[in-house]
Structure 1
Amino acid sequence: MVNSEQNNIVFYNSSPLGRLGGAGIYIHIPFCKQACHYCDFHFSTSLKKKEEMVLALAKEIELRSKSITHHPSPITESIETIYFGGGTPSILEISDLKFLIDEVYRNYKVVENPEITVEANPDDLSNEIIRQLADSPVNRLSIGIQSFFEDDLQLMNRAHNAEEAKKCLEIATQHFDNISIDLIYGIPNMSNEKWLENIQTALSFGIPHISSYALTVEPKTALHTFIQKGIIPQPDDEVAAAHFQILVDKLSENGFIHYELSNFGKEHYFSKNNSSYWLGKKYIGIGPSAHSYDGQNRGWNVSNNALYIKSIQENKLPIETETLTKTDRYNEYIMTGLRTIWGVSLERVEREFGERYLLYLLDQSKKYIQSEHLVLTGDKLTTTKKGKFLSDGIASDLFLLNLE
């Protein structure tokens, strides 16, 4: 059994403190075996530049630790989380993952027992690979199951099949304590009964964390094209809402805490990496298309593998940046806060943004409190069970266009 560090998030007045002042590093691995029909993330199905990319990622880790001429600013806080996302990080060799983790340790202060997560697809997780991962510094797996049904996986053009989905969890749970899986609901022609069976199958493996998302039709994806041509029916919002409620009820019955709109964890198993985003902590994004945030500025790398590698080889950071206005930061806080169990703190709104923002928030939220989509308890404004599925829409109605 891997020596896995649980996510020790401390709660105080309904807020997770974790280690104050910590930061995270996200490393984007822009390769996939094949393109999922619904995905609009940046990736390539060609692995020709994989070795060059790994070296470029390592060099960016070093460059970002030393540069003082760019925004977002270099991170001086200790690193609490290292997250390999994608794309498909499990497409790399274990030695590549270790090499990049070593580069983080070489260039940054890292806390004792950081959360180190690797996103993985079931078809990559053989018995031997899982054993090697368990012997590495990696202590958390995030596995892209999406569904345990063959027809769903084929519709989404996933690289794995239903048997591989179950087999990898049988093996992974023997070696890792801290595992999250992804599931997608609202898939066309998926009945409530079928969705419930998906959830029950996941629960049968004793997984302590589940991230679940409604199937979303993004522009310029294969799914969007198939729907336009009438090959696949348009996902139904009412079906997705029903699936969401089934998910919430079933996971609640089984001891999961619904701590963010799309995330459910057993106690001590919340994603520390994701929680840091929602709580406004700093993070560095390494790799093409990766985003960074230092509390005031946001940056994003070029979404082109060849241009990214060329720039890094020339010791240039291929990053564009923007400085967030006070209104931008207020809107982001409202959006992320209402998605979580920690809600929006009125005291924080007044302290960080001023009385005008607070009065605007209180005025705009009245109708949602009256309709029982929001509830104000003491200092905290949170979504109710009724309002949770609609939290993004409610948040957008509380946004300010400009108050500066």
Structure 2
Amino acid sequence: MPAEPYYLGDNPSKPVPFDGVITASHYVVPLFATMDWDQVPREKVVENIAGLQDPGGNLNDEIMMYIHVPYCKSFCHYCNFNRFHYPKQDSERLEKYTDYLIKEIDWYMRQPYVQARKFTGIYIGGGSPSTLPTSAIERLSSHLAKVIPNYDSIEKSFTGEPRTLRRPGLLEVLRDQGWDRITFGVETLNPEIHRKIGRLDTREDVDAIFDRMRDLNYKADTCVDMMYDLPGQSLFGFQDELTELVDSYDPTEIDLFTTIYLPYRPLHKMILDGRVAQPGSPWQLLAMREHLYDFLSEKGYHNTIAETWSKRNERSQYQTAHCARQDIIGIGCAARGNVKDMVSINPEKVDDWQKNVDEHGASTETLQSIGYEGVLDRIMVMFPRYKHLDKSLLGDFGEKVDSEVFERVLNVIDGHLENGTVEDEGDHFRVTKLGVIWHGNLQTDYLRHALNTEGEVLIEHLTEAKEDFDREDRFGINEQTTFIKENDDLYPKLMK
């Protein structure tokens, strides 16, 4: 018998914790785009870069590095990451990109602030880093081994897409260079949906990766991405795919992401044109989340963060940094980082990124302080994903931020304690299973105060009310798009 549902409102002992389902997971970028963000002039960026020379003022003792490679052989219809077409047969351009990665890495590794931190990991993501020539990947890895403290013992993650990750010689290089986490997207095992979301890799490509790693006796963790709430995907179809993934591949880790239907990406346009089916209702999405929680727990996986399941009972270093629990250096075109109380965003275009590296060492164009209140906001918004919040950490911020700001945070926590999505564990707060299922609502509660007026309007629209619980019709993408078109002044940049 399946587990008794947590999210349904027909069981008085397990009531619906919120008045509506926040569907903003479908539109996360428009939502975050309505946050006020002050751009700073170049002179201020240079001043902030100079401030990194001071090793003091740290908020975290640990730091890791994220390296972004924006190239892809083809574009998936749902993707919102920074990426560019693969420069076919232009190994010189890819080698040059690698040269500049090394230049920016070296600049950061010379900074006293970085040298004073404990280095915990490296993550190469994209795009598809496996599109780099094998020689470039070997050269970059060898350089990292020379300049990163304790390279042999820290966590090292490399991301690829199956078609290029299986190239002859690449997995051998990654094994020999000590990469201990290999991540790649499977997204769906349904061949029809797979094709309609723009994935051109094949099941044979995925098989080849697992087979080759076994042949090489390559013991790295295998971390696969899967998506759910895909167009035309049913609850039963998702359940079958998840079973097949575990039974066929038994990956070390599975990152499970809700599909995002951004109003300016091809997948959304294809739905409007009727070429792709609409997703199911947000209530089906919650049912999918609950199933994956129960099913993967039974299979021995641990829910390390809200969207990740691992055979290891600890979070990866990248997850820890991404959830604002340690600093992260952003290297490469469009890479983002958090250093001290500053946020760093690199240029989105390769030429601009390379120009900044030549002129300034670090390419960042938006390095600016968000202050202790901003850091607290970042921690609290990511708390529902990270699932754990030390009271001592919270207390530290209570001494540093405005009392009204801190009181607001405590009020949100109290509300989540009351509705059962968070539990008080004595020395820390913990997000419950119910909170994981509804983590979008929890994040929005912490985010809401940071939204401008337009963001508040958008949030209210992207909520499926509890009184609509029993309706059978799907929450229409067409309805969402009508609202977007009628209110396109809310986010004009995204509608270009």
Which shifted more, 51-60 or 100-109? 100-109
Asked if residue 326 in structure 1 is aligned to residue 372 in structure 2, the reply is yes
Q: Shift in Å at residue 327 of structure 1?
A: 2.1
Partner of 2:345: 300
TM-score computed with the length of structure 1 as normaliser: 0.86
Partner of 2:396: 351
Q: Distance in 1 between matches of 2:76 and 2:423?
A: 39
Choose the corresponding residue for 2:124, options 55, 78, 84: 84
- Alignment identity in percent? 19
Question: Is there any run of 5+ residues in structure 2 with no aligned partner, and where?
Answer: 1-59, 451-496
If asked which structure has higher relative contact order (CA below 8 Å, sep 6+), I would say 2
TM-score computed with the length of structure 2 as normaliser: 0.71
Which shifted more, 197-206 or 347-356? 347-356
- List per-residue Cα deviations over 1:27-58 (Å, max 9, x = no partner): 10110001110011111114243122111111
Q: Distance in 2 between matches of 1:193 and 1:172?
A: 31
Letter in 2 for 1:135: D
Question: Is there any run of 5+ residues in structure 1 with no aligned partner, and where?
Answer: 1-19
- Three-state SS of the structure 1 residue aligned to 2:433 is coil
Aligned partners of 1:148 and 1:165 also within 8 Å: no
Partner of 1:136: 177
Q: Distance in 1 between matches of 2:193 and 2:94?
A: 30
- List per-residue Cα deviations over 1:140-195 (Å, max 9, x = no partner): 10121111221122112113012322332233345234111110011111122321
Partner of 1:394: 442
Q: Shift in Å at residue 201 of structure 1?
A: 2.3
Q: Shift in Å at residue 75 of structure 1?
A: 4.9
- Three-state SS of the structure 2 residue aligned to 1:175 is coil
- List per-residue Cα deviations over 1:181-213 (Å, max 9, x = no partner): 110011111122321222122212221211110
Asked if residue 109 in structure 1 is aligned to residue 149 in structure 2, the reply is yes
Asked if residue 123 in structure 1 is aligned to residue 163 in structure 2, the reply is yes
Q: Distance in 2 between matches of 1:345 and 1:78?
A: 20
Q: Distance in 2 between matches of 1:141 and 1:297?
A: 30
Letter in 1 for 2:133: E
Distance 1:380 1:287, change over 3 A: same
Q: Distance in 1 between matches of 2:410 and 2:132?
A: 49
Distance 1:192 1:272, change over 3 A: same
Size of the alignment, in residue pairs?
A: 378
Choose the corresponding residue for 2:246, options 193, 197, 203: 203
Choose the corresponding residue for 2:292, options 234, 247, 250: 247
Q: Shift in Å at residue 399 of structure 1?
A: 4.8
Letter in 2 for 1:334: M
Distance 1:221 1:113, change over 3 A: same
Distance 1:162 1:149, change over 3 A: farther
Partner of 1:57: 101
Partner of 2:266: 222
Q: Distance in 2 between matches of 1:281 and 1:325?
A: 16
Partner of 2:333: 288
Q: Shift in Å at residue 298 of structure 1?
A: 1.0
Q: How much is the aligned-residue C-alpha RMSD, in angstroms?
A: 2.4
Letter in 1 for 2:182: L
Distance 1:360 1:313, change over 3 A: closer
Aligned partners of 1:25 and 1:283 also within 8 Å: yes
Q: Distance in 1 between matches of 2:381 and 2:227?
A: 22
Q: Distance in 1 between matches of 2:359 and 2:446?
A: 44
- Three-state SS of the structure 1 residue aligned to 2:72 is coil
- List per-residue Cα deviations over 1:63-101 (Å, max 9, x = no partner): 222358xxxx54532422111100001111232122223
Choose the corresponding residue for 1:266, options 290, 305, 311: 311
Distance 1:158 1:223, change over 3 A: same
Partner of 2:138: 98
Q: Shift in Å at residue 240 of structure 1?
A: 2.0
- List per-residue Cα deviations over 1:354-378 (Å, max 9, x = no partner): 3655543333333332322222222
More helix by share: 2
Distance 1:166 1:112, change over 3 A: closer
Q: Distance in 1 between matches of 2:360 and 2:423?
A: 51
Choose the corresponding residue for 1:34, options 65, 74, 78: 74
Choose the corresponding residue for 2:226, options 171, 183, 189: 183
Distance 1:315 1:349, change over 3 A: closer
Aligned partners of 2:342 and 2:371 also within 8 Å: no
Letter in 1 for 2:308: N
The 5-angstrom pairing of residues 359-374 of structure 1 reads 359-374=407-422
Q: Shift in Å at residue 397 of structure 1?
A: 1.7
Q: Distance in 2 between matches of 1:245 and 1:400?
A: 25
- Three-state SS of the structure 1 residue aligned to 2:423 is strand
Choose the corresponding residue for 1:335, options 374, 378, 381: 381
Letter in 1 for 2:163: D
- List per-residue Cα deviations over 1:244-284 (Å, max 9, x = no partner): 11111111001111121111111356422222332521111
- Three-state SS of the structure 2 residue aligned to 1:289 is coil
Choose the corresponding residue for 1:192, options 225, 232, 235: 235
Aligned partners of 1:208 and 1:265 also within 8 Å: yes
Q: Distance in 2 between matches of 1:171 and 1:193?
A: 32
- Three-state SS of the structure 2 residue aligned to 1:113 is coil
Partner of 1:257: 302
